[in-house]
Structure 1
Amino acid sequence: MSWSGAVQSLPWRVSFVQTLFPGAAVAVVVSLAASAIAFRYGAPVMLFALLLGMAMSFLAEDPKLTAGIRFAASNGLKFGVALMGLRVSLDLVMDLGVGVFALIAFGSATTIGVGLLIGRFLGWNREQTIIASGAVAICGASAALALSSVTRSFRDKDDHTLVVILAATTLSTAAMIFYPVLLEILGFSDVAEGIILGASIHDVAQVVGAGFSVSDSAGESATLSKMTRVALLPVVLLAVQLFSQGRTNEADRRKFGLPWFVTAFLALMVLNQIAPIPAVLVDTSRWLSSTLLIIAVAALGLSSAPKRLLKVGGTTLAFMGVLSLWLLLCASLGIWLLG
C-alpha cells in the first residue's frame, strides 16, 4: 500500500487536521505571547490574552483559520473547565467555619439575584445576566467562560462573554489595588481583611496579589475564602442547567443532561475529596486547566469584533461594577457582624 493510501485508511482524516491546526496554532501563539508579557510585568494573563487576541482579530477573517480558532475557543474552554474540578477542596471550605461559609454563599447568591433584577431593568435576557453576574459572584473570567458554555445561545453571545471577561479582569485589578487600602482604613484585622478580599475580588490571581500585599496571614485567608467561592461554581452550573430544563418543552426535557465537561468537573471534584491524588498530578492539572482557558480566551479574542465590543462595553462594566460593590458590602458587613 502506498503512503497516501495508508494515510487515507487511518480513522481520522488529514483534511480535518489541516482545517483545524492553523487556526488553533494561532490561538496558542497568541496565548504564549500573552503569558510572556503577563509574566514580565506581573499583570493578569487573561487580560493580555483577550487584548492581544482582539488586536489580531483580523486573522479570523481568513477562512483557513476560522474553523481552528473556533475549535480552540470551544474545546479549550470545555477541557479547561473540566480540569478545574481538581482545584476544589472541600477541606479548605470547612476550615473557614460555618459562619464564614454561609456569608460567602449569601454574598454570591444575592449578587446573582441582584444582577437578575438589574438585568431585567436593562432589558438584558436572562442568559446575558447570568454570565455577567456569575462572573462577579464566583470567579471572574473562569466563571464567565463556564457559564457561557452551559447557557443557551443568544445574539452576540461570544461578544458579550468577552466584554464580561474584560470587565471582570479590569475590576479585579482595580480591587487588588484599592480594596486593601480601604479595608485597612476601616480597621479590619489581617485575617478578616483576607476573608473579605477573597469573598469580593473576582479573579484568583488578583485575590492572591491583594492578600499577600497585606501580610502572609491575610494572603492565606484570602486564598481560602476565594477557593470557597470557586467551590460554589458547580452548584451554580447545576442550577443554570436545571433552570434551562424548566424552560424547555417536554421533548427537550427528555433529552436533558449535563454537558460532559460539567460532569467531568463534578467527578474530578469528588475524586479529589475521596482519593489521595499526588500533588504533582494536581499541580499539572491546574497548569493544564489554566493553559487551556488562556488559549480559549485568546481564541475568543481572535474571533471578536472590537467595534461591536466597544458599543456594549460601558453598560456591562457599569453593571458589573455595581455588583462588585454589592459583593464587597456584603462581605464587609458580614465579617463585621461575625466579629
Structure 2
Amino acid sequence: MPTLRRIPHLLPGALLCLVLAGLARLSIELPGMQQLGLGSLTLAILFGLLVGNLGGARLITLKPGVDLSRQHLLRLGVVLYGLRLTFQDIAALGPAALVIDVLMVGSTLLVAWWIGVRWLRLPRESALLIGAGSAICGAAAVMASSPVLRARAEHTAVAVATVVLFGTLAMLLHPLLFNHLPQLFASSKAFGIFSGSTIHEVAQVVAAGRAMDPAAADAALISKMLRVLLLAPALLLLGQLGNNGEHGATGRRLHIPGFAVAFLGVTALRSLDLIPHAWLAPLQQLDEVLLGMAMAALGLATRLADLRREGPRPLLLGAGLFVFLLLGGWLINSGVQHLFGQQ
C-alpha cells in the first residue's frame, strides 16, 4: 500500500523522462544524425539538460519520478543490455580480442585513476566515471558506474559529456587512419579489433565501421560488444578503486553490485538460447527506453552552473585518455595480435 500511494508522485517525473527519451529516439532517425555517431542516449541527456535548466525550480514536483528513472530504471536497463551479447559471437573473434579488451579496459581505468586523482586532483568518483566511459561503452558505462561510486549528478553529467566529445573525435579519426595508414595493421580484421577496443560508444563504433570495409566493421562491433561484456567485472574494479580512498577503506568487504551479476546472467541466458526469439526485439526496445529515461533523468537533475564549477580538469582527463586509447591501444593491439600470430 505505501508503494501504491507513491505512484501519483512518481508518475509525472517518469512520464517526462519517457517523453524526452522518445523524442531522442525519433531524433536519431533524422537525416544526417546517424553519421554524427550520436545515439539516442546522448540526445536524451541533452534534451534533459535543456528542459531541466529552462524549467529550474518549477520542476521540483517531478523529482520523485526523475530519481526513480535515474536510479532504479537505470539498473534494470543495464541488466537488459546483456540481451545484446552472446558468448558465441565473442569466441568467434578469437582469444586475441579477449586479451586485448581486458588489457584495454583494465589499463584505461587505472590510467584514469592515476591521472585524474593523483595529477589533476579531480574527485575520485569523477575521474573513475570518465575512465569507465572511456574504457567500456561510453555513456551507458558512466551511468552503470554512477551508483557503484555513489557519484553526484553533476559529476555523472560531466563524465557523459566528456566521453561523448572524445568518442566523437575517435569515431572521425579511425576511418582516416584506416584509409591513409593501412600499414598500421596487417588486415582489416586486425584494424577492426583495434577500433572496437578503443572507440568509446557503441554507436560511434558502428558509424566508424561503416566508413571502413565490412571485415573491419564486423570485427570492430564484436570487439566492442566484448568490452560491453566486461562491464560487470569492471564495476568490481571500480568499487575497489572508489573505496580505496582517504578513509583507509582498503580493508572493506568487496561489494558486488547485484545488477552487474544479473547483467552476466542475462547474457548467459541469451548465449544458451533460453530466451524466445520473439521476445528479443521487444525486450531490446524496452531496454532502449529504460536507458533513455535514465539519461533524460540525469540531464533533468543536472544544473549547468554545477558543470562550470568543475573547470577544465575533466576535459584534460578525457583528452589524456583519448591519447592513451589511441597510442597505448595501438601498442597493445599490435603486441597481442603479434603474439597470437594475427599480425
Question: Under a length normalisation based on structure 1, what TM-score does the superposition of the two structures give?
Answer: 0.87
| Residues 1:64 and 2:61 aligned together | yes
- Larger deviation, residues 51-60 vs 143-152: 51-60
From 137, 157, 164, the equivalent of 1:169 is 164
Same amino acid, percent of matched pairs: 31
Number of residue pairs matched? 323
Aligned equivalents of 2:74 and 2:311: distance in 1?
22
1:190 corresponding residue in structure 2: 188
Does the Cα contact within 8 Å between 1:159 and 1:309 map onto a contact in 2? yes
Aligned equivalents of 2:250 and 2:97: distance in 1?
40
2:299 corresponding residue in structure 1: 301
Does the Cα contact within 8 Å between 1:92 and 1:227 map onto a contact in 2? no
2:79 corresponding residue in structure 1: 82
| Residues 1:97 and 2:94 aligned together | yes
**How many Å apart are 1:319 and its aligned residue?**
0.8
- Larger deviation, residues 318-327 vs 13-22: 13-22
Q: Say what the alpha-carbon RMSD is for the aligned residues.
A: 2.3
**How many Å apart are 1:141 and its aligned residue?**
0.7
- Larger deviation, residues 36-45 vs 129-138: 36-45
Aligned equivalents of 2:18 and 2:320: distance in 1?
34
2:237 corresponding residue in structure 1: 239
1:25 corresponding residue in structure 2: 15
Aligned equivalents of 2:159 and 2:146: distance in 1?
10
Does the Cα contact within 8 Å between 1:60 and 1:66 map onto a contact in 2? no
Aligned equivalents of 1:132 and 1:244: distance in 2?
13
Task: Sort the Cα spacing of 1:243 and 1:197 in 2 relative to 1 into closer, same or farther, 3 A.
Answer: closer
Aligned equivalents of 1:313 and 1:279: distance in 2?
48
Aligned equivalents of 1:82 and 1:336: distance in 2?
33
Task: Sort the Cα spacing of 1:114 and 1:260 in 2 relative to 1 into closer, same or farther, 3 A.
Answer: closer
2:43 corresponding residue in structure 1: 48
- Larger deviation, residues 298-307 vs 278-287: 278-287
From 314, 317, 320, the equivalent of 2:315 is 317
Q: Which runs of 5+ in 1 are unaligned?
A: 1-10
Does the Cα contact within 8 Å between 2:179 and 2:212 map onto a contact in 1? no
1:219 corresponding residue in structure 2: 217
AA matched with 2:27: I
Question: Under a length normalisation based on structure 2, what TM-score does the superposition of the two structures give?
Answer: 0.86
SS at match of 2:322: helix
Task: Sort the Cα spacing of 1:274 and 1:238 in 2 relative to 1 into closer, same or farther, 3 A.
Answer: farther
| Residues 1:34 and 2:24 aligned together | yes
**How many Å apart are 1:249 and its aligned residue?**
9.3
Aligned equivalents of 2:239 and 2:323: distance in 1?
28
Aligned equivalents of 1:128 and 1:297: distance in 2?
17
| Residues 1:261 and 2:259 aligned together | yes
From 138, 154, 158, the equivalent of 1:159 is 154
Aligned equivalents of 2:115 and 2:208: distance in 1?
29
Task: Sort the Cα spacing of 1:330 and 1:146 in 2 relative to 1 into closer, same or farther, 3 A.
Answer: same
